[in-house]
Amino acid sequence: MNIIHQVILIAVASCFSIYLFERQLKNKLHKTAQHAAHPIGYKGSESLGSIRDNMGTKRLLKKTILGVCLGVLSVYGLGEEDTLYTSEWEFRLKPAPHLSKYGNVTHGNRFIIQVDGKCGGGMAAWFASYNKKQLFQAKGKMLPVQFSVSLFSHTEIIQEESEVNWVDDMVMDGMELPFAVSSLDVGRLNDINQLRPLGVYQMTTFDITAADDKIYDVPHESWDFNGFLPALNKAVSWCESQWI
């Protein structure tokens, strides 16, 4: 049982306990009110005020715990959504032969390796931002966006700057979305098999890191190597078939 499940059980149990306690208080309040109505029941009046105060506190506490319940359930739902969007590398032929993987930070950010008939590959990172104006102004420019490869505690910087090849103003069902997507050129491989040693370790990551958040509001993205080797094998098989 993970920590989220434990917190949910504790919060729900607390809500139920307070519900039972409130029921007991209501019964006691009813009996005390009957005593307070009696001419010699003045002490009951004092108890009545005390119980009302106690019930108010318990109601506030119950609302607080219910809020915790809902908050935890919301976080749990987000966790489930993250699990749902966990992606693997895949090889596809359309619109052009390519390997791709969705981002670990922002799901829509993709790492693309376009594969040619000689098993070479041009690498690009799709990097989105809500700073649309600044992003469009950066089109065609070199930006201080670092591209690196990380494995365990070691990070190898491949390039310190990246060129913005294109910027797309995202439109869905005729409605302009509040963010834009850019494509960053992050290098070319003479042979995509050069990446095979990295694919042995799923914790290997490609990383894109902008110098600040002036253009890219979320200045970092990462792509792990989950499912990379099976996708790479398909890509190699395809390009080798072009030699026949």
Per-domain boundaries in the chain: 3-84, 90-241
Please tell me the distance from the alpha carbon of residue 167 to that of residue 136, in angstroms, as a whole number. 6
pLDDT digits (tens, 9 = 90+) for 55-106: 454 444 444 444 444 343 333 333 443 444 678 999 999 999 999 999 999 9
Q: Spell out a b/e string for 27-44, using b for 16 or more CB atoms within 10 Å of the CB, else e.
A: eebeebeeebeeeeeeeb
- Check if the beta carbon of residue 15 is closer than 8 Å to that of residue 62: yes
Alpha carbon separation from 35 to 22, 32, 131, 149 (Å, rounded) = 20, 5, 68, 77
- Single-letter amino acid, residue 77: G
For the cut 50, the answer to whether the pLDDT of residue 44 exceeds it is no
Return the CATH number of 90-241, one of 2.60.40, 2.20.28, 2.60.120, 1.10.1220: 2.60.40
For the chain, how many residues are written?
244
Among 7-21, 33-47, 215-229, name the most confident range: 215-229
* pTM more than 0.85: no
Q: In terms of pLDDT, which residue wins out, 224 or 5?
A: 224
Half-sphere exposure of 14 (CA within 13 A, CB side): 17
What is the token pair recorded at 4?
A: 């989220």
**Which pLDDT score, from 0 to 100, does residue 174 have?**
85
Q: What is the mean pLDDT of the chain?
A: 77
pLDDT digits (tens, 9 = 90+) for 181-190: 999 999 999 9
Give the mean model confidence (pLDDT) for residues 112-119.
95
